[in-house]
Chains A and B, each alone.
Chain A
């Protein structure tokens, strides 16, 4: 949609695209529903494949699902050496869900918002105030929700591996080890370091994914401001490059989760 004389200005167009549905109510309906639907798509495909799974000759869908599961499983086996029933499903969910949510970037930037505006208009709302952002991972709420959940798992894994007492003791005795009097002096320093470490993990996880996807979305919006006959010159290369970004970000989030969890169960 190029800015025309009676349409929105470029600034208005961008602002419109960067406003969440239900933003004023304090709950991002678009993020919630798109993420939920994509989550169900993931569960439906993988659940169906798991139900139909056979150890004989696999079908095409099973082959594809196995490929992903095997990739995730081999990453876990490489990095995570303890036994856990949670890490596999957690990593698989992270990878596929983030991949699907990132992939929403490939839809034309105006497609779903335009449909939403028409539906909203038909329902009696002012179309100019119907907002929709279709990439849930370009919403910091989504990425922080995932990274904070991962932190909860990190703490849970630590407590399970070392016991509650062991985990608390480690908060005050690592990374700097000492004996006697120095131990007491170093305790607050260690605690501060541990808190920073614990806070840095979710922030870095969440902001990395959010930043990448937000920037990607913004560039697609900017490309959409160009005249329609030139858009492909920038749009096609960016979309092709984005295939890499989408997959890579999903993989990085999964891989770092595995690494953090393996650090959590190791003794310092």
Chain B
């Protein structure tokens, strides 16, 4: 162990090294490392936020989908209801139309029957009259018995 002037020389070297490190080495390195730590923290926060956003978006889309399904179901139900209603209305209209046609036909038939009866009655009366005329030609005067003939005609 031999302490001499070297001690001073080494102290000066040491001082210079410390000064240089303090000026040019330590600050940029620590600053850069802090910066990186901050960037990593920011990145992690952003990732968390993105995850949250994604979850929200998924929830919103599920809500929309459910709403749309519900609306579609409602629309289908109302359409079915309307269709049933239309069919019912058509049935009722057809029935009443049919009845109306039936009634018309019936009345026409009745009328024709009536007319035929009338015509038959006329013809029978004429035939009877003709027969009676033939029978009575000989013995009965038509003028004389017209009263009687008219009453027979009314009874037919």
- Whether A172 sits at the interface, judged by CB under 8 Å, is no
Q: Give Cα A156–Cα B25 distance, bound, in whole angstroms.
A: 22
Pair B15/A149 contact, Cβ less than 8 Å: yes
Contacts of B35 in A (CB 8 A): 55
- From the candidates B1, B10, B26, B28, name the one contacting A35 in the complex (CB within 8 A): B10
Main secondary structure of the interface of B (DSSP, over half): helix
Residue interface bits A144-168, CB-to-B below 8 A is 1, else 0: 1110110000000000000000000
B3 touches which one: A50, A53, A140 (CB < 8 A)?
A140
Residues of chain B within 8 A (CB-CB) of A136 are 10
Q: Check if A241 is an interface residue, CB within 8 A of chain B.
A: no
Tally of A-B residue pairs with Cβ under 8 A? 118
Chain B residues contacting A73 (CB-CB under 8 Å) are 30, 33
Q: Contact between B30 and A88 (Cβ–Cβ < 8 Å)?
A: yes
Question: 4 nearest interchain CB pairs?
Answer: A145-B10, A141-B6, A89-B22, A89-B21
Distance in Å: Cβ of A216 to nearest Cβ of chain B: 16
Select from chain B the residue with minimum beta-carbon distance to A27. B5
Q: List CB contacts (< 8 Å) of A209-256 with chain B.
A: 210
| Cα(A53)–Cα(B36), bound, Å | 11
Within 8 A of B (CB), among A13-45: 20, 23, 26-28, 31-32, 35-36, 39, 42-43
Total residues of chain A contacting the partner, CB 8 A: 45
Shortest distance in angstroms between A7's beta carbon and chain B's nearest beta carbon? 26
Q: Which of A62-70, A110-118, A123-131 contacts B (4 or more CB under 8 A)?
A: A62-70
- B36 neighbours in A (Cβ, 8 Å): 55-56
| Given A27-B5, A210-B1, also A43-B15 (CB < 8 A) | no
Q: Which chain B positions have C-beta within 8 A of A42?
A: 17
- Given A50-B29, A55-B35: A148 and B17 interface contact (C-beta under 8 Å): no
Chain A interface mostly: helix
Cβ contact of A69, chosen from B6, B8, B10, B33, cutoff 8 A: B33
**A102 contacts B by Cβ under 8 Å:** no
The answer to whether A142 touches B10 (Cβ under 8 A) is yes
Determine if A32 and B32 form an interchain contact, defined as CB atoms under 8 angstroms apart: no
Q: Which residues of B lie under 8 Å from residue A90 when comparing CB positions? A: 18, 21-22
The answer to whether A89 and B32 touch across the interface, beta carbons within 8 angstroms, is: no
Query: Other than the known A51-B28, A55-B39, what 14 A-B pairs have Cβ atoms closer than 8 Å?
Result: A27-B9, A32-B6, A51-B24, A53-B32, A65-B29, A69-B26, A85-B22, A92-B25, A139-B6, A141-B4, A145-B6, A145-B7, A146-B10, A149-B14
Shortest beta-carbon distance, B29 to chain A, in Å?
A: 5
Residue A93 is within 8 A (CB to CB) of chain B in the complex? yes
Q: Tell me which residues across on chain B come within 8 A of A97, comparing CB atoms.
A: 14, 17
Question: How distant is the Cα of A112 from the Cα of B44 in the complex, in angstroms?
Answer: 53
- CB atoms of A47 and B25 under 8 A apart: yes
Q: Let me know if A88 and B28 touch, CB within 8 A.
A: no
Known: A35-B13, A53-B28, A86-B22. A141 touches B33 (CB 8 A): no
Do residues B32 and A145 form an inter-chain contact, with CB atoms below 8 A?
A: no
* B147 interface residue per 8 A CB criterion: no
The reply to whether the CB of B11 lies closer than 8 angstroms to some CB of chain A is yes
Tell me, rounded to whole Å, the shortest Cβ–Cβ distance linking A47 to chain B: 5
> Is A46 touching B25 in the complex (CB atoms < 8 A)?
yes
